Amino acid sequence: RQHQARGLGHAVWCARRLIGPDESFAVMLPDDVIAAETSCLKQMVDAHAKTGGCMVAAMEVPREKASAYGILDVSEDMGSLVQARGMVEKPKVGEAPSNLAVIGRYILTPDVLHNLEKTEEGSGGEIQLTDAIAQEITEGRNVFGYRFQGERFDCGSKAGFLQATVAFALERPELREELSLF
C-alpha cells in the first residue's frame, strides 16, 4: 500500500516484498484499457520469453502529445519490437526523442526494484518508474518496447472512459442494436 502519493515508481517499490528476488514481474495500470484479440500482456509475455530484460508496451502518439507520456529513445526498430537506448518521462514539447510512448503495461526485472531504492524525485516531483527502467539501459541491460496489437483507451480521462464503454458495449450483440441507433 502506498501511504503517500509519490509517483508510480514509488507505488511499484511499495510492492517489493511481494516479488521474488529472481522473478520478473508485470505492472498493469488500470486506467489504460486495451481491447485486443490476444491481451496486450500476453503478447508481451510471449515476446519477453524470447528477449528477456525489461519490456514496456508502446504505441505511436502524435508528436504534439508526446509531452504527456514516457517516450522511448529507439536504437533499433524491429517492427513490433524496439530496442531502447533511453527513456524520457514527459519531455518538453519538441524535445521528445521519438513519438513512441510507453503505455501502462510493463514486464520488469527485480533490478528495477533496486534502481527504485536509489531513484530520486523526477518529473512532477515524483519517483518515476521510467527513471528506474532507464537506469537499466545505463547499466547495460536490455529494455524493449513492444508495439502491441489492439486499441488503447485512456480511461484516466472522462472522454476516454466513455469511448471505452461505448466500444465495449458495441461488441456485445445484446447491446449493439440499441446503441447503433444513436
Tell me the pTM: 0.90
Distance separating alpha carbons of residues 136 and 114, to the nearest angstrom: 10
90-147 tens-digit pLDDT? 899 889 999 999 999 999 999 999 999 998 887 778 898 988 999 999 999 999 999 9
Residue 123's CB is within 10 A of a number of other CB atoms, namely 14
Average pLDDT over the chain, rounded to an integer: 93
Residue 149's CB is within 10 A of a number of other CB atoms, namely 12
Q: Report pLDDT for 182.
A: 56
Backbone angles phi, psi at 136, to 5 degrees: -60, -40
Q: Report pLDDT for 93.
A: 85
Q: Report pLDDT for 181.
A: 65
Distance separating alpha carbons of residues 1 and 101, to the nearest angstrom: 27
